[in-house]
Amino acid sequence: MQELTNNALMLKVKSGDLDKLGLLYERHKKRLFGFFFNMNSDAALSEDLVQNVFMRILKYKHTYTGEGSFTAWMFRTARNVNYDYYRRNKPENKTSEVSEVAYKLEDSDTIEKGIQEKENITVLHRAMQLLTPEKREVLVLSKIKEMQFSEVAEVLGCSEGAAKVKAHRALKALRTIYLQLETR
């Protein structure tokens, strides 16, 4: 139902009723922020990228046809924003080695607090950052509750079956990294 009204709101934005973008922003800002934060672990940067998504939605509103899901269209835009950002600002190989991350974890306060569960989640978050961006992306998209796999496939530009296989492989890779970090 919400997807229907998302679509109607976006068509209004397209026809010049720009303030309807405010409603779409309120509905989706957290989800988009979560997507970027999971991708880059940088809250300030993620907020900027959310802003960029909505600027781009306005810029390319004429290309919105109302066909398919608005959420998928929006996340495709988010994905492009993310790519463009990293193309322009190549990261300086931060935390690219498992050993480096493990070392940082040993120093971190979280572990000293000794809460096993929290620790596991922290390790998992680190493991996520060690995945390739493609694998990380497919997992993050798969975990967005409001998105069906057909929409994830639409965002990734592949078939639904292929998206599921990618999700499975990403999950398996994440598990492997996670176990490596955990045993250190």
Partner 1 sequence: MMQQEKFEIWMIDYLSDELEGKDRLNFEKYLEENDDHRKQFEALKETWLQLDEVAIPETSPKMDEQFFDMLHDKMESQNHKKESGLGWLQSLVGSIKKSQLAFAMLILGVGIGAGYVLNNDSNSDTTVNTVNAVVDTNTETEEVRGQLVLTLLEQASANKRLQGVNEAAKLNDANERVIEALFTTLNNDPNVNVRLVAVESLAKYVDTPEVRMGLVKSIGFQDSPLVQIALADLMVALQEKTSVESMKQLLEQPDIDNTVKQKLEESINHII
| Distant-in-sequence, close-in-space partners of 56: CB < 8 Å, separation ≥ 6 | 77, 80, 81
Which runs of E-coded beta strand occur in 58-177?
A: none
Find the binder of partner 1 among 84, 121, 133, 157 (CB under 8 A). 121
Binding-residue pattern over the window 17 to 56 for partner 1, x denoting contact by CB under 8 A: xxx-xx--x---xx--xx--xx----x---x--xx--xx-
Q: Which is nearer to partner 1, 47 or 80 (CB)?
A: 47
Backbone phi and psi for residue 67, each to the nearest 5 degrees, phi listed first = -85, 145
Torsion angle, CA of 112/133/37/169, rounded to 10 degrees? -70
Q: Under a CB-based contact definition with an 8 Å cutoff, are residues 77 and 68 in contact?
A: no
Find the angle CA(124)-CA(125)-CA(128) to the nearest 5 degrees. Answer: 85
Find the binder of partner 1 among 124, 158, 180, 182 (CB under 8 A). 124
We find the least distance from the C-beta atom of residue 29 to partner 1, in angstroms, to be 6
* Contacts of partner 1 in 164-183 (CB under 8 A): 164-165, 167-169, 171-172, 174-175, 178
Find the binder of partner 1 among 39, 74, 139, 181 (CB under 8 A). 139
Q: Under a CB-based contact definition with an 8 Å cutoff, are residues 74 and 144 in contact?
A: no
The whole-angstrom separation of Cα 176 and Cα 172 is 6
* Contacts of partner 1 in 52-91 (CB under 8 A): 54-55, 58, 62, 65-67
Q: Which residue reads 């050993």 in tokens? A: 99
Q: Does 134 bind partner 1 (CB under 8 A)?
A: no
Applying CB under 8 A, which residues contact partner 1?
Answer: 4, 7-8, 11-12, 14-19, 21-22, 25, 29-30, 33-34, 37-38, 43, 47, 50-51, 54-55, 58, 62, 65-67, 117, 120-121, 124-125, 128, 139, 142-143, 148-149, 161, 164-165, 167-169, 171-172, 174-175, 178
